[in-house]
Structure 1
Amino acid sequence: MQNLYDIMQLLKQYGTFIYTTDFLGDLHLMEDEVKELYKSGIMDIKDYQMAMLILRQEATKYEMKKR
């Protein structure tokens, strides 16, 4: 997993499509979905950690641009 697109493709594999026109809200929803995949044993710890890092970096980038 290297970028946001990879996370979106992973979620799509499990039937989760997130698009609400609120980018920051979408990132938070993706975080929740990734946490659930990890809790249910579908994701390993390495992929989980990388996905969470990418999502948080994207949220930070978005917030910095907005200022």
Structure 2
Amino acid sequence: MTELNQIWNKIALLSSGETWTISAQDLLISRADFHSISAYLSHESEKGKFTIEIPKQTNAWFNQTSFTITKS
């Protein structure tokens, strides 16, 4: 998955405390793919190298299409 590699490369380039907001539109991927990536990154953030903030959904039928990563 090249999108995931792009994200990992960008996270590696972030300085400590720096944030980056990612959207499905930026990556040109479907909401389903974006949701899968955000779920994976949420799990990976438990290792402590970065945090991920996913906005709360306002409607259950509408998946969020952006999140913010902060490098630890």
TM-score between both structures, scaled by the size of structure 1 = 0.44
TM-score between both structures, scaled by the size of structure 2 = 0.42
Is the strand fraction higher in 1 or 2?
A: 2
